[in-house]
Amino acid sequence: MNPIIIEDHLFVLHTQDTTYAFRVIETGHLEHLYYGQRLHATEGLVAALGLKSSYVPGNTIAYHASAPSLSLEALPQEVSTTGKGDCREAFVITQDALGRRTSDFVFKTYTRHQGLGPNPVLGDNEALPLPHDGARAPFDEGVETLCIFLEDRVQGTTLCLTYTVFYRANVIGKRATLINTSDKSIRVERLMSNQLDLSHHAYELIHFGGAWAREMDQHRTPLSRYEQLGSQTGTSSNRCNPFFMLKAPRANEDFGDCYGFNLIYSGNWISTLEVDAFGSTRVLQGVRPDTLSKALKPEAVIETPMAIMTYSATGLTNLSHQMHRFVQHHIVRGQWQYRVRPVLINSWEAFYFNVQDKKLLRLARRAKALGVELFVLDDGWFGDRDSDTRGLGDWQENLKKLPRGLEGLAKDIHALGMDFGLWLEPEMVNEDSKLYRQHPDWVLRIPNVDHSLGRNQLLLNLGLKEVTDYLYEVLADILEKAPINYIKWDMNRIVSDVYSPALEPSIEGQQALMHRYVLGLYHLLDRLTRRFPQVLFEGCASGGNRFDLGMLCYMPQIWASDNTDAHARVAIQKHYSYGYPLSTLGAHVSDVPNHQTLREAPLALRQTVASFGLLGYEMNLLTLDGTALKAIGDHIDFYKTYRQVLQFGDFYRLNPEENPELEGSQAFMVVDSEKKRGVLGLMQGLTTANRPQLRLKLKGISETTTYRLYNRHQQYSLRVFGDLVNAVSPIPLPKGSLRFKVAEQLYPIAGETFDLVAQGSILMGGGVRLPQAFIGMGYKDSVRLYQDFASRLYCVEARQIDEGL
Ligand code: GLA
């Protein structure tokens, strides 16, 4: 394994299955040569892939008299600027004391390092608290870093491009550091993290937009001229997630070229995809320029967060697996890396603000009896918090609601044999709170201007050291005093009126406020997670408004969406799965009618969907009947039995492209790394009459192993059939009558049993035909009841490994 090869002026970065290459050309510029499938030699690489240029066409700019055939507009580059002929979007723009905005970066030197290496400029100790600083490998093997230093011939600054090769994950990380080596202050207008100049534009862009409770809406669009993705919410945003993909038009889950991109950052970001005059594509990723922009004094340094890229020659499933492995190996911290996550009960949709210790304990007792391991006390436990209009900032327990305090409740929960978790929203404050009254200048707001509120609250300025120091003390105190195993860290508004009354009222005093906020947040999280490494943090920002790799460096899991409707969740969780592993996705079973959509999805669907994520229950278990409670207990047992594979297995999307008979259904599958166990989930949307046949091709198991495939039994109530029951019943059973109710209790309907043994090659190559679905022609127990929002869970277990095939 030799991840970085340097020959003469050629730099080649290898991951296990991919190669990235660039070189220094005669003028000192960096020419991007290649990013794609693994190459096995360097001989001829430049001759084959280097730009061949004999003239500069028409009104294009020639770089210099000594290089008359070089146009920076036509050169695929590693770093681009303005002013020397490249009229595409630039990677870096600075303005010097003379007002010049032209830059011309040329190669100076390089260094290489094991692992992430030192921060190229500042040295480890002074490194800015960006989350990639913690993105260490559990085994550093195969992680190497290359720093390329360039100098600006015009303005005299120095730029360091840092490339980190995550060999096994097939990921390359890129970031930039700019040092003002000139003798006057400059203004940094933009500094991106990654530039990738691709030689053509025959790609489809897949990105994920959305809104609150509608995270990860998938959009697919062919590249034509210019696409801009990004966020201005102050967070990475549910309006557009920073993860996106490019794929060859015909590529699908199992076939074809595709690239995945993400950014290890939680604030405003931008990605642009520009098709240039010659049909090439420039991808840029980084912090939104107006968020990062600042003045830089001589010798001062500015560093960007790390962007990451992956390439797959074999379709989107492999791309996702590479992203998943990267998150699990290099993003998730310490002891949580491969630790199975507890099944939890959350009090929010059960009681909202109306929490009270006796009621909470009753819920906890019931949950414990069903196998739940972690009790999470959500909003409402502190200050005067009876609604969302007040209390945020006052993190002292409300003794009317919790007379024995947090400590007392936490101890009672522990005495039941459960872990205790707590909701907090540390970055926020209500105007109606003691904290705001004490420190009105700690918030982001413009003095003497009406402030626009979100959920009645204001942001504390985490860019101020006194604020993060204060929060550190308050939170550390809470975690010290009560036995708390888990924190749900919420953040429920986006930004507006960004200004700090505590900072100097000047352009420089207020610059880069939101970036400083994000750095302050990271610093706080870094301190807390170092001091309390054993506490499981779950990120949340009104659901998935900050679902990103930056937060995942500190919080091993994130609440994926406030939308707990199972049907909506199928798409939400499926789309997260393109870039994030199931071990990061909070997924809860909630009550019906659903609190966001009023849909009545059957319990089985709610359970199936939540199984493909980190299972929790978020409903009032005290009001359920015995049948529902039994179904919940059984489901939790099932989940625990398969938890390792459900949380950490290889995840497959079974799409209608390969399974045309799926029609309105979606199917997911997870398989363990040894291909011995798997779980297949089938989730129906709306049913179509008389489409009773369904054949599914399994994925991810071994061709040569024989497997048993069987379903989890389901039990139905007579109610499923309504008045149809009277077509077969010897006695009339009017709907809603007492007689009907008695019959319902006496005659539960057993769903179909499905159990077969077959070799993996058959189950994957040919597929498996499921029992005929109900089509109104009578019912027997071999029929698959497959009404709207039906679902199935199937287990896959290796029986024997066939030899000699
Ligand atoms: C946000 C979260 C919810 C819940 C509430 C509490 O909306 O996303 O899960 O914690 O806040 O106020």
Residue-wise pLDDT tens digits, 144-183:
999 999 999 999 999 999 999 999 999 999 999 999 999 9
Q: How far apart are CA 133 and CA 147, in angstroms?
A: 15
Q: Is 22 in the pocket of ligand 1 (CB under 6 A)?
A: no
- By alpha-carbon position, which residue is closest to atom 11 of ligand 1? 542
CA of residue 215 to ligand 1 center, whole Å: 15
- By alpha-carbon position, which residue is closest to atom 12 of ligand 1? 379
Query: Is it the case that residue 566 has pLDDT exceeding 90?
Result: yes
Maximum CA pair distance of the chain?
Answer: 99
637-643-644-648 Cα dihedral, nearest 10 degrees: 170
Residue 134: per-residue pLDDT? 61
For 771, half-sphere exposure in the C-beta direction (CA atoms, 13 angstrom radius) is: 18
371 exposure class (CB count in 10 Å sphere: 0-12, 13-18, 19+): middle
Q: Among the options 17, 562, 565, 672, which is catalytic?
A: 562
Query: Is it the case that residue 127 has pLDDT exceeding 90?
Result: no
Residue 656: per-residue pLDDT? 84
- By alpha-carbon position, which residue is closest to atom 4 of ligand 1? 348
Q: Identify the sign of the CA torsion 95, 97, 102, 104.
A: negative
In the residue annotation, 290 being an active-site residue is answered as no
> Where are the alpha helices (H) located in 377-441, listed in sequence order?
405-415, 434-438
In the residue annotation, 634 being an active-site residue is answered as no
Contact criterion met (CB below 8 Å) for 610 and 589: yes
Q: Is 562 in the pocket of ligand 1 (CB under 6 A)?
A: yes
Atom of ligand 1 nearest to the CA of 541: 8
Atom of ligand 1 nearest to the CA of 492: 1
CA of residue 542 to ligand 1 center, whole Å: 6
Atom of ligand 1 nearest to the CA of 488: 10
* DSSP H/E element including 638: helix 626-641
Query: Pairing relation of β-strands 92-95 and 105-114?
Result: unpaired
Q: Among the options 96, 357, 490, 548, which is catalytic?
A: 490
Residue 118: per-residue pLDDT? 76
- By alpha-carbon position, which residue is closest to atom 7 of ligand 1? 542
Residue 123: per-residue pLDDT? 59
- By alpha-carbon position, which residue is closest to atom 6 of ligand 1? 379
* DSSP H/E element including 322: helix 316-326
Q: pLDDT, tens digit, for every residue of 326-373?
A: 999 999 998 999 999 999 999 999 999 999 999 999 999 999 999 999
Structure tokens at 301: 């340094």
Residue 180: per-residue pLDDT? 97
Peptide bond into 533 cis (omega under 30): no
Query: Residues 553-566: what's their mean pLDDT?
Result: 98
Q: Is 540 in the pocket of ligand 1 (CB under 6 A)?
A: yes
pLDDT band (50, 70, 90) for residue 14:
very high
Residue 120: per-residue pLDDT? 67
Q: pLDDT, tens digit, for every residue of 250-259?
A: 999 999 999 9
Q: pLDDT, tens digit, for every residue of 743-759?
A: 999 999 999 999 999 99
Atom of ligand 1 nearest to the CA of 378: 10
Residue 136: per-residue pLDDT? 55
Contact criterion met (CB below 8 Å) for 28 and 71: no
Angle at 648 between CA 645 and CA 654, to 5 degrees: 70
Contact criterion met (CB below 8 Å) for 428 and 546: no
pLDDT band (50, 70, 90) for residue 805:
very low
Q: Is 526 in the pocket of ligand 1 (CB under 6 A)?
A: no
Atom of ligand 1 nearest to the CA of 540: 8
Q: How far apart are CA 379 and CA 351, in angstroms?
A: 9
- Best residue among 427, 490, 493 to mutate for probing ligand 1, ranked by most atoms within 8 Å of CB: 490
Query: Is it the case that residue 298 has pLDDT exceeding 50?
Result: yes
Tell which wins on pLDDT, 694 or 124. 694
CA of residue 258 to ligand 1 center, whole Å: 36
CA of residue 588 to ligand 1 center, whole Å: 13
Structure tokens at 69: 């055939």
Phi and psi at 435, nearest 5°, equal -60, -45
- Best residue among 347, 381, 424, 492 to mutate for probing ligand 1, ranked by most atoms within 8 Å of CB: 492
Spatial CB neighbours of 775, under 8 Å, sequence gap ≥ 6:
689, 690, 692
CA of residue 288 to ligand 1 center, whole Å: 27
Spatial CB neighbours of 323, under 8 Å, sequence gap ≥ 6:
171, 243, 260, 262, 310, 578, 579, 580, 581
Q: Is 577 in the pocket of ligand 1 (CB under 6 A)?
A: no
Q: pLDDT, tens digit, for every residue of 177-230?
A: 999 999 999 999 999 999 999 999 999 999 999 999 999 999 999 999 999 999
Spatial CB neighbours of 655, under 8 Å, sequence gap ≥ 6:
252, 253, 662
CA of residue 540 to ligand 1 center, whole Å: 8
Spatial CB neighbours of 331, under 8 Å, sequence gap ≥ 6:
135, 264, 549, 552, 553
- Best residue among 238, 344, 347, 348 to mutate for probing ligand 1, ranked by most atoms within 8 Å of CB: 348
Query: Is it the case that residue 450 has pLDDT exceeding 50?
Result: yes
State the DSSP string of 564-606.
Answer: --HHHHHHHHHHHTTTS-GGGEEEEEE-SS-TTT-----HHHH
Residue 804: per-residue pLDDT? 44
Task: Tell me the CA distances in angstroms from 771 to 14, 232, 302, 696, one per residue in order.
Answer: 48, 50, 62, 11
Mean pLDDT of the chain: 95
Q: Is 378 in the pocket of ligand 1 (CB under 6 A)?
A: yes
CA of residue 285 to ligand 1 center, whole Å: 30
- Best residue among 378, 455, 538, 596 to mutate for probing ligand 1, ranked by most atoms within 8 Å of CB: 378
Tell which wins on pLDDT, 499 or 136. 499
Query: Pairing relation of β-strands 186-191 and 715-716?
Result: unpaired
> Where are the alpha helices (H) located in 650-800, listed in sequence order?
738-746, 760-761
CA of residue 612 to ligand 1 center, whole Å: 21
Q: Is 542 in the pocket of ligand 1 (CB under 6 A)?
A: yes
Residue 349: per-residue pLDDT? 98
- By alpha-carbon position, which residue is closest to atom 8 of ligand 1? 542
Structure tokens at 225: 């001229």
Q: 438-460 in b/e burial notation, b at 16+ Cβ within 10 A?
A: ebeebbbbeeeeeeeeeebbbbb
Task: Tell me the CA distances in angstroms from 54 to 48, 67, 69, 74, 387, one per residue in order.
Answer: 16, 10, 5, 12, 70
Q: How many CB atoms lie within 10 A of CB 437?
A: 12
Q: How far apart are CA 614 and CA 342, in angstroms?
A: 8
- Best residue among 349, 379, 392, 487 to mutate for probing ligand 1, ranked by most atoms within 8 Å of CB: 379
Q: pLDDT, tens digit, for every residue of 684-739?
A: 999 999 988 899 999 999 999 999 999 999 999 999 999 999 988 899 999 889 99
Residue 702: per-residue pLDDT? 97
Residue 116: per-residue pLDDT? 86
Q: Identify the sign of the CA torsion 248, 251, 256, 259.
A: positive
Residue 124: per-residue pLDDT? 52
CA of residue 343 to ligand 1 center, whole Å: 19
